Every structure is written in structure tokens, then in C-alpha cells.
Chains A and B, each alone.
Chain A
Amino acid sequence: MTLSRILPLTLCAPLLGSCWLIFPSPPPPPSSLYLSFTVPEIPAAARGNAYLGLFWYDADANATAVVTSRLADSGPVPLTSPPLPPSYGNGRELFVSGYALQVLQNNPKFLLSLEGGEARNLSATNLSGADGVRTGTLYPFIWNDVNANGQYDPLSEKVVFDTNDVISYANKDFNYSFEGNKAGTVFRQSGNRRQGWTHVRHFVLSGASGNELTWNSLAPDSPALYTFKMKEPTNFASSMEVRP
């Protein structure tokens, strides 16, 4: 009698291990981004009004903020929930939730072809490797919020610091190249991108053979991943060129 009661339970034991039969577990949340920034000394004119933000631009060049944070004049910046992991403490940080990223990557105004997005207004010629590619780019910068409304008003407010590194979403892995012209500065651009959200590192080589730009996704195990060195605004195509 005892055996007859235990036997069915014993047979069920392997099933109990697969507990999804009893308690289906929710799908894992989409990956969030923790970004940290090295910021030069904030100029006196912007102290108290400096904001750090992550922005994207639509095809009409309208800037939309994804996340912003007022910069304390020095030291760590208190942020809203969720709290930052303890390893982030003495820099300037931004958090973007995976859900917010998911909404963005599904927004057709955000995700554009290379011609209509990243390479627009650059007189791109000989574009290759971009067939079927859709990317969306997030640009970090710090601005002087003169009117103290917590928003970036491009007509009246200046970018104090930025970086030419970006956060990019790509619909697939790809390598691309094109020749461009940025307000009279001729350059050749190439790069590789991995599918998904990545930190894309900007690198410009200038010298006798002209300006060569690369924008590559950092390796997932790069110690520099999601850390950004802010600087004064520069011409991304030639800031390191040799001037006669």
C-alpha cells in the first residue's frame, strides 16, 4: 500500500525539477544600460546649471532626451531609482532601463537606414555594406541649462561637453564604409557594428593621407565599455588633423 502511494510520486519527481510546469517563470527583462562619464571641470558659467543627457535625433534633427541628470559641481550625482550598483560611485552616471531601450528600438522614427540616419547631411558617396541596415543612435552630452527648465533648448543653450562615442542599436551585424564631407572637411569613414545595443567607439586618424574615421562596436568584455570621456565639442571628422 505504501509503495503504491509512493511510486507515482517517484515517477513525478523529474517533473518537479522542471518547475516551469508548476510556476512558469517570466521572460528575462531586457538588458539595461549603466553609463559612466568622465567630465572635465565644469566652467564657472555653467556651474549649478549643467545637465548630462542622452539624446536621439529624428530625421528632421529634432532632439529627444532619453534620460537627463543634473550634474553636481563635483563628486557623485544622486540619481533616481533604480539605485546604481555600488561599483559606480565617484563618476557621473546615467541609467537607461531595458524597457525604455526596447520601446526605442521599435520606434520607426528612431531606427533609420544609414543613408537616412547616421550618414545624412554628410554628402556620403560610395556607401557600401549598409544594405538592409537599420540603426539608431544615442548621443551623450552636457549642456548649460541657462533657463533652468531641465530641458535642452538648442536655440538658446550651448553644449558644454560631448563625446564622439555613441550608443547604437543595430538590427544586424555589419561592416560599412563611405566617403563623406562635413562642412568642407573631406573624410573616409568605416566601421563595424554588432546587432543589438553597443557602445560605439570613435577614432579619427589624421595626417598625410587625410582624415580617416572609424566607429566600431566595443568588444563585450572591453574594460572601456560604457565609460565615456567627455571633452569640449570638436569637429568629429578632423579634430585631430594636422593644421598647416
Chain B
Amino acid sequence: MKSSFLLSVLGILALTACASTPAAESGGNRPTPRVTSLFEFPQIPSGPKVYLDFLDSSGKVMRHEELKAGETSKVLEIQNLGTPAAADLAAPLSFKPTGATVVQEPSPLSAKIYGLAPIIYTDKNSSSGLDDGELLFMTHDRVLYATAAFTAAYSEPINSSTMTTKVSAQTGWTRLEHFVYLPLGSSEYKRSLTSTQDRTFYMHKPTPENSM
């Protein structure tokens, strides 16, 4: 009696061991996607101190982080930046350049934004601020806060052609992705600024706006 009980316990143990073999994941062995914001950049040179700053449109520094020589990335969560001051909020197309024509009025018009430009500079003159000739890396992506999701579009002359920018932003702090291309056989640059789930910012050497 006792032995048959033990036998059945052992049998259950054996079956449990087999059942615990991990099932193959569908879609392969893909790790869980990263959920933090990440700034990637070419290797930081040694020498004068290097900083990653978030600049707003008035030139105010919202965030100031020192980067160490040799670093190639920094985790800096943009969704923890807090709610911007009411005085800092502006109209959705307040950032469009002078000379640009509105193609589609912001919808809804009541949306307000606060945009930050991430930049990396080498502080050659130890002023702890960006000065001429110090800009190392930048991105045309923006760290954007929007009070409401909105869309808008504007068009501007670029050299001898045109660039049309379509904006599609989500509520809260997001990465506003800059994406631009010139279709084959066309002279009109197509650009989009879109809030993305992916909050990876690729910082690169300075380029004009009709480049990545």
C-alpha cells in the first residue's frame, strides 16, 4: 500500500519534470523590447568636458548631463521630465521656420507643445554652456511634450526646391522622430515628424534639416 503510494508520487514527479520543458516562443528568441529612452552617439572623445543638454526654443537648458570619454550611449528617461511650466507651452506650429507656409492648420488648434533639442557639445572654454564651434553631435528628432495629440503640416523653400513637413504628435512626452527623403525624380523633400513608441535618439554630427 505504502509502496504503491510512493510509486504514484514518483510517477507524478517524473511527469511534472517533463511538462516543465520550456515551450519554444513563437517568433523566435527575441528579448523583451527596451522600454527606456536611450541616447546613442559616436564615442565621446577625451579632453575638455562633454555635455548632453536639452535646449528649449528660447535657449534655456532643461537638462544638463556630463558624458564620460569613451561612452557611446546614455539612458535618460524623457517621460520623467515632469509637466512643463504653463509659460513654456506654445502653439503646435510655433517652431516652424519663418517663411514656411501652413499647409494644414493644427488639429485640434487648442493643443500646446514644449519642444527640446538634444545636443552634445565639448565645452572647450569651460563655460558650461554651448558656444560657437563646440557642437559635437545633434539630432533633428525632438523631445516633445504635447498637451493633446495633434496633426499639422507646413511647407518651406529649401535651396531651389521645397520641403513639406507633416507633424503627428501624441500626448505627453514622446520622441518626435524626424524622417526625410527626396523621392527619385522629384524636387520636393518629404519630411515627417512623428511621435514614436521607440525612444531611441541617434545623435550624429551636425547636418542640415533636409538630411537625417
Give me the interface of A with B, judged by CB distance under 8 Å: 2, 5-6, 9-10, 12-13, 16-19, 22-23, 25, 28-34, 82, 85, 98, 203-207, 209, 219-225, 229, 231-235, 239-244
Contact A19 B18 (CB under 8 A): yes
Those of B12-41 within 8 Å (CB) of chain A: 13-14, 17-18, 21, 24, 26-35
Q: Which of B26, B158, B199, B204 contacts A205 (CB 8 A)?
A: B204
CB proximity of A100 to chain B, nearest CB, Å: 13
Contact B21 A25 (CB under 8 A): yes
A residues near B95, Cβ cutoff 8 Å: none
Q: How far is A5 from B10 in the complex, measured between Cα atoms in Å?
A: 13
- The 7 A-B residue pairs with the shortest CB-CB distance, nearest first, are A31-B28, A16-B14, A232-B183, A223-B198, A19-B18, A240-B211, A221-B34
**Could you write out 11 A-B pairs with CB less than 8 Å apart?**
A5-B3, A19-B17, A98-B28, A205-B204, A206-B207, A207-B211, A224-B198, A231-B181, A231-B190, A242-B210, A243-B160
Q: How far is A222 from B28 in the complex, measured between Cα atoms in Å?
A: 15
A residues near B13, Cβ cutoff 8 Å: 13, 16-17
Give me the interface of B with A, judged by CB distance under 8 Å: 2-3, 6-7, 10, 13-14, 17-18, 21, 24, 26-35, 158-161, 179-184, 186-187, 190, 196-200, 202, 204-208, 210-212
Contact B204 A31 (CB under 8 A): no
Chain B interface secondary structure, helix, strand, loop or mixed? loop
Q: How far is A31 from B30 in the complex, measured between Cα atoms in Å?
A: 9
A residues near B180, Cβ cutoff 8 Å: 240
Q: Which of A6, A13, A19 contacts B21 (CB 8 A)?
A: A19
Contact B27 A9 (CB under 8 A): no
Q: How far is A56 from B186 in the complex, measured between Cα atoms in Å?
A: 27
Q: How far is A203 from B202 in the complex, measured between Cα atoms in Å?
A: 10
Contact B208 A6 (CB under 8 A): no
B residues near A239, Cβ cutoff 8 Å: 181-182
A residues near B202, Cβ cutoff 8 Å: 203
